[in-house]
Structure 1
Amino acid sequence: MTLRSILALSFTIDQIQRNYGLDPAPILARHGMRKDQFDGNAVISQADELAILSDLFIDLSHDPLAAVKIGSTFGLSGYGAYAMMLMSCSTVYESIQLGIRYQEMSYLFSKISFELDGENASIILTPYRVPEHLHRFVIDRDVAGTFQFLNLMQTMIGQHTHPLEICIPYPKPLEAEFYEKQFQCPVKFGTDVIRFLIPGDILKKTLPNANTTALTLYRQQCDELLSKRSQVNNGTLAERVKHHLEMFKEELPAIKDCAESFSSSERQFRRDLKEEGTTYQQLLDKVRSEKACKLLDNSKTSVEQIALLLGYTESAAFIRAFKKWHGITPAQYRKR
């Protein structure tokens, strides 16, 4: 299962510490990590990074623009061989195509794609499923980081144009004016995906550092890094999947969404869990069971509402599942 560089998380933590005075040590310790373990070769899964960001977010929730500010300071150094490979391409178009092909080298919580539309083009980021409380934070970091990356690439070719439009897939916030000022272009909210609309003529621009030898070398480095990451074992998959699911407060993700969070295809994801003697459905049931018991024990939330919180469309289905798990109904469990 492919992992990703820890550099983006490290940079994010550094910016949070510098700008918000937050000591990351206790949060990292809860995840069995230390800041001095971070280096250029360290890796982490998307799900594990998301778990750490979830804990960090608690102390940043007072600033809804935190992720935009953090992502806007990302530099090319955080991308390592990935950035060097893209800068060695002959044209902007070739760089975008290669960036999509090697997108596992990026820090994004989105799938990258590309569209041509007449005289313009779109770089599209389709966000992965994340816990609702992190939805805006993760999207903002992806948008701001990608905008910064595109700006740095433009500087290389002597361009200073801005996107024609940026689309962001969540409802228009109170701080919408800040986004247009930050990105210096119209920003449209409430769309299905993240979209950077750019002039098509930029695609033909040549890159000043174009070098076929260097490009081949950096592609080999990227291939080697991806190969090494796929062989890293950082705990059982079942344990990490369960921990990932526990972050979701309401409806839990489908197996396809969860597989993407672990940089895996659904088919491979099922196979890996089977090799550990479990299934995704069993892990879902276990997490739902634990969440249900906590709500029944520690709140006055109705059985109907608990069913909805756990993703059931009707309470009868939840009651049947709960009785299968514990041998009694939720009401009987609460009375006991």
Structure 2
Amino acid sequence: MKQKYFVYQLTYVNPLLKALKNSDISVEKLIKISKLHHFDLSDSQKYIPSEVLYDFLLLARSHSKTTNLIAPCYNYFKVSELGDHGDYISKLPILYQVLQQFIVHKSMFQTNTQNDLRIENGIAQFSFTFLDKYSAGRKIAENMYLAIILQTFQLFGGQNWIPLELHVPYRLISDIQPMLPKGEYIIRLNQKKFAILFSQPLLFKNRHTTPSELKKPSILGHTNRSFVTTIEKVLNSYKPGYIPSLKDLSNHFNTSESSIKRCLKSEKAKFSNILERILFKKAANLLSNSNLNIYLIGEHLGYSDSPNFIRSFKKWSGTTPGIYRNSMLKQEKR
């Protein structure tokens, strides 16, 4: 089955939110009127559907003083700003190691990119392309990704670094012109993908960072691209106190409920079973690792009253929340 449902890790959104907060745009207002307000933005490890991000980008642009949303905020889009993994790879001593992270862990920040590195006759080429359907929102996200990649190259080549060639899939480059390296090099338009051609020696230029000082993050992004895993990631990302429905999910992926059902069926899964499994895990974790009472736990999960939560929990586990909590306490005392 061809992948149609893509997600972004919220850590990818952080640089944009920081940039917008330092402009005249009210970020809180934008979030409130966008689909982003359904999600738990306090945890950068959470994931949102690509369409939710694209809608937010278009909304932010409509409230901006300029139609060029990303280029004026170029300095905010650094790989070091992309959570623990971004901080880790920004400190790797060799550019080759950094680019390999983007290739091997291609889904660490978003699941819709394909990255590649090739070397021929002393010329290296790093390329990337987006796999989802083109849209105005996706184009802004592409520019965000390009900004991150260009700044990564400047970490190793210096602020005055320029490529040998830059390939872009656009007819015009007015949107990205302000953030492109200054200097003389070839820019090829209407290409199939973005590509940066540069001298091979830069790949292995060693910086002063010592690899032994770096601690590799335990979580390397959304490594499993199965549809069930994607749905689980998104369902786990909704804000506390809200139980998402299949209608919510289809709206946020900009697709139909029947399409999601068919995709889940192809992996022998059902939406209701996935949602119940997630709610049970959250409830079990709170019962075992918090002092919240049953009512507050039910409220945290999105239940309006305790009886409904107790009834659901008994359906999932065969016992009541109170009995389950007591059994966990007894196990800890052993």
TM range (shorter): 0.5 to 0.7
For 1:281, the equivalent position in structure 2 comes to none
Kindly, what percent of the aligned residue pairs are identical? 12
Q: State the distance in 1 between where 2:20 and 2:39 align.
A: 13
Is the contact made by 1:120 and 1:200 (CA closer than 8 Å) also made in structure 2?
yes
Q: Which amino acid aligns with 2:155?
A: L
TM-score normalised by length of structure 1: 0.60
Render the CA deviation track for 1:293-320: whole Å, top value 9, x for unaligned: xxxxxxxxxxxxxxxxxxxxxxxxxxxx
Would you tell me which structure has more helix in proportion to its own residues?
1
TM-fit CA distance, 1:148: 1.3
Provide the rounded CA distance (Å) in 2 between the counterparts of 1:70 and 1:183.
20
**Is the 8 Å Cα contact of residues 107 and 222 (structure 2) preserved in structure 1?**
no
What is the TM-score normalised by the length of structure 2?
Answer: 0.60
| Corresponding residue of 2:249 | 240
Per-residue deviation, 1:146: 1.4
- Aligned counterpart, 2:61: 57
The question of whether the paired residues in 1 share the 8 Å contact of 2:14 and 2:81 is answered with no
Number of paired residues?
252
- After superposition, give the CA deviation of every residue in 1:170-206 in whole Å (9 maximum; x if it has no partner): 1125567646565874332211101111111112222
Aligned position for 1:95: 98
Q: Does 1:163 align with 2:163?
A: yes
The amino acid of 1:81's aligned partner reads D
Q: Is the Cα contact below 8 Å between 1:127 and 1:139 reproduced in 2?
A: yes
What do residues 139-162 of structure 1 show as CA deviations (whole Å, max 9, x unaligned)? 22221221112212445xxx8532
User: Considering only aligned residues, what root-mean-square deviation do their CA atoms show, in Å?
Assistant: 4.0
Query: Which residues in structure 2 correspond to 1:44-193 (within 5 Å)?
Result: 44-60=48-64, 63-87=66-90, 89=92, 91-106=94-109, 110-130=113-133, 132-155=135-158, 161-173=161-173, 178=178, 185-193=185-193
Is it true that 1:222 corresponds to 2:219 in the alignment? yes
Aligned-partner SS, 1:81 = helix
Question: In structure 2, do the counterparts of structure 1 residues 140 and 99 end up closer, same or farther at CA, with 3 Å as the change threshold?
Answer: closer
* Letter matched to residue 9 of structure 1: V
Q: Distance in 1 between the 2:99 and 2:123 partners?
A: 14
Tell me, in whole angstroms, the C-alpha distance in 2 between the residues paired with 1:269 and 1:114. Answer: 34
| 1:59 aligned partner, one-letter code | H
2:270 pairs with 1:275: yes
- Which residue in 2 is equivalent to 1:317? none
User: How many Å separate the matches in 2 of 1:132 and 1:224?
Assistant: 25
What secondary structure sits across from 1:151 in the alignment?
A: helix
Task: Give 1:207 deviation, angstroms.
Answer: 3.7
8 Å contact 2:124–2:200 — kept in the other structure? Answer: yes
Evaluate the alpha carbon distance shift between residue 34 and residue 152 of structure 1 in structure 2; reply closer, same or farther with a 3 A threshold: farther
How many angstroms does 1:269 deviate by?
A: 6.2
Structure 1: stretches of 5+ with no match in the other structure:
247-251, 260-266, 278-336
Give 1:12 shift. 0.8
The code of the aligned residue for 1:191 comes to Q
Unaligned stretches of 5+ residues in structure 2 = 239-243, 273-334
Deviations 1:79-122 (A, max 9, x none): 23223432454632233212311232235853222122321111
Tell me, in whole angstroms, the C-alpha distance in 2 between the residues paired with 1:225 and 1:191: 28
- What is the letter of the counterpart of residue 245 of structure 1? N
